[in-house]
Structure 1
């Protein structure tokens, strides 16, 4: 039966590691996997997940399914007792000895992560990126560029010219391989398309801070970027589903099915669009989108590893519908290296279980299962970005 333990992995979506995570308290290792709202607001702290927590809330963090998984998996690597305090002490001992980068290197080698697609506008030689082991390629973050140029432009036409020039420079000169965007959170997938003339009418209000006008202009720039992506041959990555957190708007605005009216337009059929986070909890919707639209792909990040206790079922939902050549493994990893490492480990478990069942049931030949697993874990991303094995 298929065995993917030694298969290389491309982490198709992750963030930078943070130097301050070299040493962690057990509760903060658990909180690395918390994407909810803490219950004690702290003035000046924007992210609710980083607010203070009462004892009642602190009690729950170690009992999240994904935390139980990271404890279990770390204990197997460390050869220690599977207790949160024990594995945290051992990881801190190792980071003290070899540094955060050295510890991350050990974990990435254990999981077989051979390349990381970084959601970061940092220069490729920035020391922060050096904390992440191995080869790295970057996604240009759309939102900071858009907001900066919105403030400095005098019209929508000027904004569009400057934005597209910035994108072209990033792709052609600075080595970025794609763009990451937040259409769902900032506008909503179900919003009506906005063309240049309408965006021009709303530009002044958007620049002045009007929220509804901002949505109009953002949508217009996003649609123009969908066309530019074809010209420059780069993929657009877009948050779908719960995206790992909550925001000030209807969560249902990120159901991938809401993109259908836009994606069915002939002008966008050749744009490569990557649905980050697999649309969780609308994973079957994401899989169906990849099946239906010629250049829609699904990235299993956030779902991997956060849904650890039902990760096999989540993978079945997508594998059952999407072409297996359009699936990639991401993590959404950030802060500490355990997130990306655990994503690769649990992805191998899930892919192995699903494809082994397919072989056992006579739904797939073993040689095809072995090929499909390697494609999902590595080859599909390598083909998208032109990586060499």
Structure 2
């Protein structure tokens, strides 16, 4: 950055693994969108802010000119092979530590594998709903499920860096704020297990609340998906302000609440981080999907979010390119914003240096107790 001192390696506080296999245009393109369907006839998902960001930042890391045609880029990717292309791309991100949500299905790199390719470090984020579903697959009764679930969450806390919930997808964030009583939990478990096919998702609001409070009891940070996502989500049910009463109820728990992504409710997430000391936020995949408008989104988040409460993440999934775009768009947005604020006299140069270091590294190191 022209304004600040050299940045430390970034901590990506929420991401996923990448695919190990070779990708053609038909298998590459779906990772550029949250949609489940192909692009409209005669169009392509490369013609999006995400697609343009990939074409801007990734080709130079593979020896090509910025903005080269997608076909040329994918041909070069195939020439290098998936491992070498992934290695070069991850090496160009500036990310040193990856906090990896392992709850997504598919043949994705594990945290240690991802870190090994990138030459960095990694820690696991455990997805609560995945834990519940795995326990349910092995539970014969509701009593066994409730007991085994408590043990599984406790065991996961021994090695995980944080927990993550996708309650926004499964029910929405308008959940009753208090922990449900053991009797209600057992009744909900009985109903769910009786109706559930193997592998079925947990969607019952009582069980989702129970999961959240089990995680809070461990003292580890709890990440919550908020804002936009794929079509499984009802966007109006993912507004982070729906969590206000839950946030109040957890104020004395000792657990940090981390609001992920937020967009288009990123200002609401910033507000919650502003007024509740244990609430933090990121803008995650919002920057990759807003592309050339990333600086505007980050600026809107920084309107209210205290500078010690905002963290960097990519929410990259499947493609190493999404780590590149997430990191480059974030650091480019910082440079644009902080340069303007220093030039106009609103900020001092030392303050810009200090805040930049908090956002890329310091805040996450503190929240997740990283050495």
Interval containing the TM-score (normalised by the shorter chain): 0.7 to 0.9
Aligned-partner Cα distance in 2 for 1:70–1:4: 27
1:174-213 C-alpha deviation (Å, 9 max, x unpaired): x211111111111211122433332233331121237999
Structure 2 length-normalised TM: 0.87
1:237-288 C-alpha deviation (Å, 9 max, x unpaired): 111111x3121x63211100000011112665532111111x1110100100
The CA deviation at 1:129 is 6.9
1:76-113 C-alpha deviation (Å, 9 max, x unpaired): 443426222222222322x33xxx33333322332211
SS of match in other structure, 1:208: helix
Structure 1 length-normalised TM: 0.83
Given that 2:224 and 2:259 are in contact with CA atoms closer than 8 Å, whether structure 1 keeps it comes out as yes
Aligned-partner Cα distance in 2 for 1:300–1:84: 27
- Unaligned stretches of 5+ in structure 1? 39-52
Distance 1:106 1:6, change over 3 A: farther
Q: Which residue of 2 aligns with 1:169?
A: 155
* 2:73 corresponds to 1:87: yes
The CA deviation at 1:116 is 0.9
- Map residues 11-30 of structure 1 onto 2, 5 A cutoff: 11-20=12-21, 22=22, 24-26=23-25, 28-30=27-29
**Structure with more helix by fraction:** 1
Distance 1:291 1:80, change over 3 A: same
* 2:41 corresponds to 1:62: no
Q: How many residues align?
A: 359
Distance 1:378 1:228, change over 3 A: same
Given that 2:7 and 2:356 are in contact with CA atoms closer than 8 Å, whether structure 1 keeps it comes out as no
Alignment RMSD (CA, Å): 2.8
* 2:307 corresponds to 1:330: no
Aligned-partner Cα distance in 1 for 2:135–2:28: 37
Distance 1:214 1:2, change over 3 A: same
* 2:274 corresponds to 1:291: yes
Aligned-partner Cα distance in 2 for 1:188–1:235: 20
SS of match in other structure, 1:117: strand
Q: Which moved more, 1:360-369 or 1:150-159?
A: 150-159
Q: Which residue of 2 aligns with 1:256?
A: 240
Distance 1:135 1:195, change over 3 A: same
- Map residues 182-261 of structure 1 onto 2, 5 A cutoff: 182-193=166-177, 194-209=180-195, 214-230=203-219, 234-242=220-228, 244-247=229-232, 250-261=234-245
Aligned-partner Cα distance in 1 for 2:278–2:66: 46
Q: Which residue of 2 aligns with 1:358?
A: 341
Aligned-partner Cα distance in 2 for 1:27–1:350: 31
Q: Which moved more, 1:206-215 or 1:250-259?
A: 206-215
Q: Which residue of 2 aligns with 1:272?
A: 256
